[in-house]
Structure 1
Amino acid sequence: MKIIVPMAGRGSRLRPHTLTVPKPLIPIAGKPIVHRLVEDIAGVLNQEIEEIAFIIHKDFGDKVPGELIAIAEKLGAKGTIYYQNEPLGTAHAILCAKESMSGPIVVAYADTLFRADFTLDTTADSVIWVKQVDDPSAFGVVQLNDKNEIVDFVEKPKEFVSDLAIIGIYYFKSGETLRSELQYLLDNNVVKGGEYQLTDGLENMKQKGLKFVPGTVDEWMDCGNKNVTVETNSRMLNFLHNDGENLVSANIKNENSTIIPPCFIGDDVELINATVGPNVSLGKGTIVHNSTIKNSLVQTNATIKNATLDNAMIGNHASFDGNFTSISIGDYSVLE
């Protein structure tokens, strides 16, 4: 099994945090989003992962490819890097990894996390992960027949046709078939809104008689903007805490401070006269003095003093000393 991860988007809705760090590498409960994503996919598939192909942008910098390859290697897989330097759509992004599209593959967009417990239907030509939602008009949805097979894909329906939203994770029995269908779109300039769309390729496959079935997830967590990313961090902390995972490093300095679980506390964190939690992630090397923090995500080597934070997101090496509560400051920012 191979996993293809398109992640070349700039993550503009999560600025300023994505000005210096690609969105898929933003940590959730102490691990980058993309790391948690491929781990969870591997857990659901319960199969050996041969290769993980990451599709990134050239502007991500020199360190990112190495970090992504290390993530793949932790799962015992080969890591491969491809580049999409123009935003030409989902089909184009996936096809950038065409050299890795052979045998069974999973395509997963790196801006979403999920929790699921189901057995993959390997008899199907494709499995599309979906989640029931309250407002289908904001999503692409699938329609099912009485055999639980997908018979239609509808993008942001104005009238109700289904409440099963596509979450951006797909299984294909044949990577070669998907590659051929996506190449057809590019060769024949099949575009919508100026972009090559994966759903057009899926529709062509369905018209040829390929069998699509849904794969349902128990939880679907978005990382699109600051507020939902902080919420996703909180939800993930609760899941991991309930799973019995130890999220607090033994290598921290704690003076007259209280940690209210669930929290992720990284190595070399310093807590002095602080109350942290619930639902807080503090990255490695962060310093918190005379502060109360809850429902917040703080990355590495930040300094927080004399603060009361709730629903806050603070970047790497940032420094905050003040009275604002629900803040969002990026890497190396200073507010004192």
Structure 2
Amino acid sequence: MKIIVPMAGVGSRLRPHTLTTPKPLTLIAGKPIVQRLVEDITKVVKEDVEEIAFIIGPATKGFKEETKENLIKIAESLGAKGHVFVQETALGTAHAINCAKDVLDGPCVVAFADTLFKAEFTLDTEADGAIWVKQVEDPSAFGVVKLKDGIITDFVEKPKEFVTDLAIIGIYYFKDGAKLQAELQHLIDNNIMDRGEFQLTDALENMKQQGMKFVPGKVDEWMDCGKKDPTVDTNTKILGFAHKDGEKLIADSVVLENATIIEPCFIGENVVLKNAIVGPNVSLGENSVVENATIKNSLIQKNVEISNANLDNAMIGNHAKYNGNFTSVSIGDYTELI
């Protein structure tokens, strides 16, 4: 099994946090979003993952070489060989996936790296393909699928009138990656575009018309990491799952001086808490110091200094310094509010 992760977007909706860190490498409960994504995929497919390919954009190349190294390490942590490809021009989902054409063969999962999920279903690897879906209240904002006898019959993009409430969450399984690659290449070679881009849904439709059968994979939770508030909410949900699963979330090196941690929380290595109450639902990255503060329901990255603060629903980037009485903030890397 292979996993293909297109992550070439610039993450503009999550700025300023994505100005110095690619969005998929933003830490959620102590792990990068993309790492949690591929870990959860391996639980569903229940097969050994041999290779993981990440497709980054040209803007991502401007980040430190550390970005590529981190992605390779994520693949290796799952016992897989890692690859990093570059989508030089933003030409759509089909074009992005096709950038990994050198490894597109055999069974594979394609997963866009701006969403997380929890699921209990077992992947039907005998089907030609599977599309992860979630029942939603307002399907008009999503691409959706129609079913008949458990088989997907139609793909509908943002329906104005109700046709189904099963939204596509951006994760797909293909039994034959080479067949997928051939369909993607067909779109590109014949300049078949929609709204100026090559779309994966066009390739899916072509494959369906050729008799290939796709089944749904219904997930229990679908968590967005697009904007600040949904990302903080996703952090809360992931902390809850991780705590329930017995994941070690609080480092042994944490120093408490007249401080209290209200679980669930992730507290990284070498964090110092002085005269502070942290939690519930807080992720606090390594080498951070919190003094004279109360923090809850917040996502805070590494090497942060927080003092004299009362924070709720906050997202704070790496190397930030915050001293104040604001309660809902979103400040990026190397920002100082003193």
Name the counterpart of 2:337. Answer: 335
Q: Aligned partners of 2:182, 2:100: CA distance in 1, in Å?
A: 13
Q: Structure 2 counterpart of 1:83, which letter? A: V
Moved more, 70-79 or 51-60: 51-60
How far off is 1:184 after superposition? 0.6
Structure 2 residue identity aligned to 1:316: N
Question: Is the aligned partner of 1:121 residue 2:146?
Answer: no
Number of the residue aligned with 1:164:
166
**In structure 2, how many angstroms separate the alpha carbons of the residues matched to 1:27 and 1:195?**
30
Q: Which residue is 1:30 aligned to?
A: 30
Paired residue for 1:16? 16
Structure 2: distance between partners of 1:259 and 1:121: 42
Which deviations, in whole Å up to 9, do the C-alpha atoms of 1:86-144 show, x marking residues without a partner?
A: 11000000000000101000000000001111111111100000000001001000000
> Cα deviation per residue 1:131-180 (whole Å; 9 max; x = unaligned)?
000010010000001x1100000011000001000000000000000000
How far apart are 1:246 and its partner, in Å? 2.1
C-alpha contact 2:58 2:89 (8 A) present in aligned 1 = no
Match for 2:5: what amino acid?
V
- The within-5 A match list for 1:219-298 is 219-298=221-300
Task: Report the equivalent of 2:301.
Answer: 299
Query: Residues of 1 paired with 2:125 and 2:56: CA distance?
Result: 29
Large movers: runs of 4+ above 6 Å? none
Matches for 1:84-95 after TM superposition, within 5 Å: 84-95=87-98
Q: Which amino acid aligns with 2:112?
A: Y
CA distance in 1, matches of 2:126, 2:80: 24
Residue aligning to 1:72: 75
Per the alignment, residue 48 of structure 1 pairs with 48
Of 11-20 and 116-125, the range deviating more from structure 2? 116-125
Contact 2:10 2:59 (8 Å CA) reproduced: no
- SS of residue paired to 2:34: helix
Tell me by how many angstroms 1:59 deviates: 2.9
C-alpha distance in 1, partners of 2:58/2:47? 31
Alpha-carbon distance in structure 2 between the residues aligned to 1:270 and 1:259: 12
Task: Give, in whole Å, the separation in 1 of the partners of 2:260 and 2:50.
Answer: 43
Distance 1:64 1:46 in 2: 28
| 2-structure distance, mates of 1:122, 1:234 | 32
Corresponding residue for 1:6?
A: 6
Give, in angstroms, the shift of residue 68 of structure 1: 0.2
Match of 1:207 in 2: 209
Asked if 1:187 is matched to 2:189, the reply is: yes
Q: Secondary structure at the match of 2:37?
A: helix
**What is the rounded CA distance, in whole Å, between the counterparts of 1:9 and 1:303 in structure 2?**
30
The sequence identity of aligned pairs, in percent, is 67
Distance in 2 (CA, whole Å) between partners of 1:330 and 1:158 is 37
1:39 corresponds to which residue? Answer: 39
Deviation at 1:40, TM superposition (A): 0.5
SS in 1 for 2:269: coil
Local SS of the residue matching 2:240: helix
Give the equivalent residue in structure 1 for 2:85.
82
Query: Partners of 1:244 and 1:179 in 2: how far apart?
Result: 40
The RMSD of aligned alpha carbons is 0.6
Show CA shifts across 1:187-233 (max 9, x none).
11111110000000000000000001000111110101000000000
Deviations 1:263-310 (CA, angstroms, capped at 9, x unpaired): 000000010000000000000011100000000000000000000000
Q: What's the CA shift string for 1:300-323, capped at 9, x where partnerless? A: 000000000000000000000001
Q: Work out whether residues 132 and 172 of structure 2, in 8 Å CA contact, stay in contact via their aligned partners in 1.
A: yes
Amino acid at match of 1:7: M
Equivalent-residue separation in structure 1 for 2:53 and 2:67 (angstroms):
13
| Aligned twin of 1:102 | 105
SS in 2 for 1:10: coil
- CA–CA separation in structure 1 for the residues paired with 2:240 and 2:160: 35
Quote the Cα distance in structure 2 between the aligned partners of 1:63 and 1:239.
29
Q: How big is the shift at 1:242?
A: 1.3
**Is the 8 Å Cα contact of residues 135 and 165 (structure 2) preserved in structure 1?**
yes
What count of residue pairs does the alignment treat as equivalent? 335
